[in-house]
Amino acid sequence: MAIGNEVLSTHLNNYKNLNRTARQAGIIYFIFSIFSIIAEFVFPRFIEFGNSAVTSHNISSNIFFFRLSILCGFFNVILFIILVVWLYMLFKDVNRNNALLMVLFVSIGCAVSLAVLIFKFAPLTLLSGSAYLSGFTKEQIEAVNLTLLNIHYMGGNIVTIFWGLWLFPFGYLVYKSGFIPCIYGILLYIAGIAYLFGSSTAIVYPSLVSSLAPILIPMYFCELPIIFWLLIKGTKKEK
């Protein structure tokens, strides 16, 4: 009887630890999502594609928010790394290989994201009005500025590929876990397909992106349910 009670106590403690880790991951995931929304929708639209003068004006007149957007992007990367570490701790006993693959995709994506973010510092130098830039005309500076920002924007499509790839091992782990409803794993697969297809299309056939947006945008939102499940439920209660 004592052995049975000890086994039951150990099982309950394991469940509580798992549930705590899941909720902590949900909190980090939620904060990460908020930062992503802020970075995407809250800051002013700085880049006016095809118009270097307007782009430079947008940045110069909103320089504080432009700097803030860079800082927000950096914090987003840090939060993503913390998130995937927590998810690894949550799912490592489900399938360690897929958990490691999930961490690998996020790590590479974060490295590429930081590399792409560097191009966003270009306007802070080019539009600073420093004396050593006097050898260039205003039009030349604005053209170089927009070119570097275009590279930043296009590099984001490479980053998005990794944001799609990591959802596949993540979805598999959720599906196989047993402590999270498998439907959330399927939804993660759908979101992963959308990210991969959208970013690949933006690289190969950019003219089709706007046409595919009504189909892909709802698929992107398939990633959201797992955030609220982890945040509110944690893991399924066991009998």
**Tokens at 49, concatenated:** 């594609």
Structural domain includes residue 162: yes
Residue 150 φ then ψ, to 5° = -65, -40
Residues in contact with 188: Cβ distance below 8 Å, sequence separation at least 6, in sequence order:
167, 168, 170, 171, 174, 222, 223, 226
How confident is the prediction for the chain on average, in pLDDT? 87
pLDDT tens digits, one per residue of 90-142: 999 999 999 999 999 999 999 999 999 999 998 998 888 788 788 888 899 88
pLDDT tens digits, one per residue of 206-215: 888 888 889 9
Residue 125 φ then ψ, to 5° = -90, -50
Structural domain includes residue 239: no
Q: How many CB atoms sit inside 10 A of residue 233's CB?
A: 16
Range of the domain at 112: 2-233
Pairwise CA distance, residues 169 & 220, whole Å? 17
Structural domain includes residue 100: yes
pLDDT on residue 37:
84
Structural domain includes residue 166: yes
**Tokens at 47, concatenated:** 């880049």
Q: Which residue has the tokens 């880049």?
A: 47
Structural domain includes residue 95: yes
**Tokens at 238, concatenated:** 């066991």
Structural domain includes residue 238: no
Structural domain includes residue 42: yes
What is the number of domains present in the chain?
A: 1
pLDDT on residue 8:
47
Grouping H, G, I as helix, E, B as strand and the rest as coil, residue 14 is helix
User: Considering the chain, what percentage of its residues have pLDDT values greater than 90?
Assistant: 51
The pTM score is 0.86
Pairwise CA distance, residues 122 & 116, whole Å? 11
Q: Which residues of 34-71 are buried (b: 16+ CB within 10 A; e: fewer)?
A: ebbeebeeebeebbeeeebeebbebbeebeeebeebbe
Q: Which residue has the tokens 């004396």?
A: 131
pLDDT averaged over 10-residue windows placed end to end, the chain, 239 residues: 50 69 93 86 77 89 89 92 95 94 96 92 87 84 90 90 96 93 95 94 88 90 93 71
